[in-house]
């Protein structure tokens, strides 16, 4: 507990390895009660669980939650019976997959025959745990487009595809893309053709142009700087798909203010819009990650102007390509070499 | 201010006294500080006594005296400070307090029902609150998921009862 982004980014800490299912609600109530009683009330920005955990420390927080939990258990009221868990679970059953061979002759043939399709499969299709099925990630990041935007016609098309090819289920991801969770491998090419016809087959999932951006100053009253036009410029700068694959997995997250809706703290490259005396500036962080090695990015140095920031991103990418070993990902290179090579290339020439 | 006790608008029979004020002969509410300073005298007093706790003053501070205390007033300094909800439940559930638990301070209509659910049986409200407003807000929700001290049946227990009835009908 105690994790969160916003103006005070913190990585959550573990206070209980495992809580029995039946006690889950009581345990959460214990957490909420400790927070309610001891959380900060003097400053609304500090009225957060993460602030309490940070101030008293995770050991003390754990001790208090456990003590409260013991009291709540005595009352025994918030017990979650296993039959209730089973009743709820019934609503989340996987769909009835067909029994299929894992290998699809149709797919193998199409991959060989259609190079664009093969590229799309490589970046946008993920493995499914059920044989013969695949997961399709629909990129809402066309080159130069607004990250996460989708027209009503595209929505209609996607809904139709989901209905016909993916058990009528469509998911929206926090990375501002869509996911068809259960597509038969033999249907992948048909799905691809339909997506392509609606401008939804950009093959860039996980690549540098698959950025997260908040609405920014163009749409948001809280923002200090624009996010969307910057994301569009970066997308255009790195438009070449061969180059994107050469760069590999790289997540750029942009927020137009410290509230961090674009999750910039956990972008491999994070961009934060700030206002300095009425002028938009962009602060850049490196090394953030929202994976199993969660990290808050490090500020690389003084902020860049609107005119400088896309070049700065390019310099960071070029520096990475220069120091990476054995095709390691940007984030792995950063974890190995640290911030210094990037600082040097960004600021010594200025 | 108006006082609503167990859903009825009543005259307040307690007088809240300042720390330096003379105690009245009848029922009185004192601050925690005064309670602690004059504990022996106040315990021995021959009239109902209440203690008012501010946000940050936990019920544990008077736990040993709850046998003698008739009323605990819990302060909501501002509507978004909900500590007194936890205090009320702790008074009822942990200490088994049977006296009056009174909500005072910034007591807003859309929170009436939550206060009742947490064990408040009296609320001090602003003068614009009418019995109609009270009735509308104190009963806004008819079903509850979370068990609490008001003893209301939860959705879960209703479901279990329906399932049991369905089983009985099936075997009958």
**List of E strands, A231-307:** 252-255, 269-276, 279-286, 298-299, 304-305
- Quick one: B137 and B152 in the same domain? no
- Quick one: B96 and B82 in the same domain? yes
- Quick one: B85 and B167 in the same domain? no
Q: Is residue A76 scored above 90 in pLDDT?
A: no
Structural domain that includes position B82: 2-141
Higher-pLDDT residue of A76, A296: A296
The minimal CB distance from B85 to the residues A36, A71, A87 is found for A36
- Quick one: B75 and B98 in the same domain? yes
Task: CATH number of the domain at B99, please.
Answer: 3.20.20.70
Q: In whole angstroms, what is the distance from residue A95 CA to residue A167 CA?
A: 7
Q: Do A36 and B86 make contact, defined as CB atoms within 8 angstroms?
A: yes
Given pLDDT bands bounded at 50, 70 and 90, which one contains residue B59? very high
Q: Does residue B84 sit in helix, strand or coil?
A: helix
- Quick one: B157 and B97 in the same domain? no
pLDDT, average across residues A61-82: 88
Q: Do A37 and B86 make contact, defined as CB atoms within 8 angstroms?
A: yes
With an 8 Å Cβ cutoff, is A75 touching chain B? yes
With an 8 Å Cβ cutoff, is A36 touching chain B? yes
- Quick one: B84 and B20 in the same domain? yes
Q: In whole angstroms, what is the distance from residue B160 CA to residue B158 CA?
A: 5
Q: Is residue A75 scored above 90 in pLDDT?
A: no
Given pLDDT bands bounded at 50, 70 and 90, which one contains residue A349? low
With an 8 Å Cβ cutoff, is B128 touching chain A? no
Q: Is residue A190 scored above 80 in pLDDT?
A: yes
The minimal CB distance from B82 to the residues A36, A71, A78 is found for A36
Q: Do A41 and B55 make contact, defined as CB atoms within 8 angstroms?
A: yes
Query: CB-hemisphere CA count at 13 Å for B26?
Result: 5
- Quick one: B128 and B156 in the same domain? no
pLDDT of A179: 98
- Quick one: B120 and B172 in the same domain? no
The minimum CA-CA distance between A255 and chain B, rounded to whole Å, is 28
With an 8 Å Cβ cutoff, is B126 touching chain A? no
- Quick one: B165 and B87 in the same domain? no
Given pLDDT bands bounded at 50, 70 and 90, which one contains residue B129? very high
Q: Is residue B15 scored above 80 in pLDDT?
A: yes
Q: In whole angstroms, what is the distance from residue B75 CA to residue A340 CA?
A: 54
Number of domains in chain B: 2
- Quick one: B86 and B151 in the same domain? no
Count of other CB atoms within 10 angstroms of residue B37: 12
pLDDT in tens, A283-327: 999 999 999 999 999 999 999 999 999 999 999 999 999 999 999
Q: Do B146 and A37 make contact, defined as CB atoms within 8 angstroms?
A: no
Q: Do B86 and A33 make contact, defined as CB atoms within 8 angstroms?
A: yes
Q: Is residue A90 scored above 90 in pLDDT?
A: yes
Residue A57, token pair as written in the block: 């420390």
> Is the four-CA dihedral A280, A285, A286, A288 of positive or negative sign?
negative
Question: What count of CB pairs under 8 Å joins A to B?
Answer: 26
- Quick one: B101 and B170 in the same domain? no
* Residue ranges of B 134-153 with Cβ closer than 8 A to chain A: 146-148
The minimum CA-CA distance between A28 and chain B, rounded to whole Å, is 12
> Residues of B with CB below 8 A from A75's CB?
93
Q: Is residue A347 scored above 60 in pLDDT?
A: yes
With an 8 Å Cβ cutoff, is A71 touching chain B? yes
Given pLDDT bands bounded at 50, 70 and 90, which one contains residue B151? confident
pLDDT in tens, A108-138: 999 999 999 999 999 999 999 999 999 999 9
Q: What is the mean pLDDT of chain A?
A: 95
Q: Is residue A350 scored above 60 in pLDDT?
A: no
Domains of chain A are 21-92 (no CATH), 105-197 (3.90.480.20), 212-347 (3.30.413.10)
Q: What percent of chain A has pLDDT over 70?
A: 99
> Residues of B with CB below 8 A from A87's CB?
159
pLDDT in tens, A215-253: 999 999 999 999 999 999 999 999 999 999 999 999 999
- Quick one: B64 and B146 in the same domain? no
> Angle at Cα A338 formed by Cα A332 and Cα A340, nearest 5°?
140
């Amino acid at each position: 507990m105690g994790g969160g982004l916003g103006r005070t980014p913190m990585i959550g800490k573990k206070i209980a390895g495992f809580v029995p299912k039946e006690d889950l609600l009581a345990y959460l109530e214990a957490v909420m009660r400790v927070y309610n009683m001891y959380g900060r009330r003097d400053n609304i920005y500090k009225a957060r669980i993460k602030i309490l955990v940070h101030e008293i420390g995770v050991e003390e927080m754990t001790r208090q939650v456990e003590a409260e939990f013991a009291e709540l258990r005595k009352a025994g009221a918030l017990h979650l019976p296993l039959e209730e868990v089973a009743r709820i679970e019934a609503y989340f059953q996987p769909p009835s997959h067909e029994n299929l061979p894992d290998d699809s002759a149709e797919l193998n043939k199409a991959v060989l025959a259609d190079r664009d399709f093969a590229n799309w499969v490589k970046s946008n299709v993920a493995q499914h745990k059920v044989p013969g099925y695949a997961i399709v990630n629909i990129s809402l990041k066309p080159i130069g487009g607004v990250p996460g935007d989708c027209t009503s016609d595209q929505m209609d098309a996607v809904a139709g595809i989901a209905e016909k090819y993916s058990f009528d289920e469509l998911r929206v991801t926090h990375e501002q893309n869509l996911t068809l969770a259960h597509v038969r491998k033999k249907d992948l090419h048909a799905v691809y053709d339909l997506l392509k016809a609606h401008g939804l087959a950009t093959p860039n999932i996980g690549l540098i142009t698959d950025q997260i951006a908040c609405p920014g100053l163009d749409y948001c009253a809280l923002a200090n700087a624009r996010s969307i036009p910057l994301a569009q410029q970066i997308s255009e700068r790195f438009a070449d798909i061969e180059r994107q694959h050469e760069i590999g997995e790289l997540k750029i997250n942009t927020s137009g203010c410290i509230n961090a809706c674009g999750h910039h703290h956990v972008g491999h490259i994070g961009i934060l819009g700030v206002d300095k005396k009425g002028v938009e500036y962009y602060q850049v962080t490196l090394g953030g990650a929202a994976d199993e090695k969660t990290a808050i990015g490090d500020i690389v140095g003084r902020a860049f102007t609107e005119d400088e920031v896309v070049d700065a991103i390019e310099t960071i990418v070029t520096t990475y390509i220069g120091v990476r070993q054995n095709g390691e990902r940007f984030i792995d290179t950063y974890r190995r070499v640290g911030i210094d090579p990037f600082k040097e290339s960004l600021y010594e020439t200025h | 201010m108006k006082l609503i006790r167990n859903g009825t608008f009543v005259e307040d029979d307690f007088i809240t006294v300042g720390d330096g004020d003379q105690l009245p002969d009848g029922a009185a509410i004192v601050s925690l500080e005064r309670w602690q300073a004059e504990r022996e005298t106040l315990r021995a007093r021959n009239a109902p006594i209440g203690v008012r706790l501010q946000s940050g003053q936990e019920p544990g501070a008077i736990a040993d005296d709850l046998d003698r205390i008739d009323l605990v007033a819990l302060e909501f300094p501002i509507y978004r400070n909900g500590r007194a909800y936890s205090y009320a439940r702790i008074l009822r559930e942990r200490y088994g307090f049977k006296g009056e638990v009174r909500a005072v301070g910034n007591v807003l209509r859309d929170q009436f029902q939550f206060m009742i659910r947490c064990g408040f049986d009296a609320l001090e409200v602003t003068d614009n609150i009418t019995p109609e407003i009270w009735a509308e807000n104190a009963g806004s929700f008819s079903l509850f998921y979370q068990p609490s001290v008001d003893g209301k049946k939860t959705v879960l227990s209703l479901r279990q009862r329906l399932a049991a009835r369905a089983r009985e009908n099936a075997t009958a």
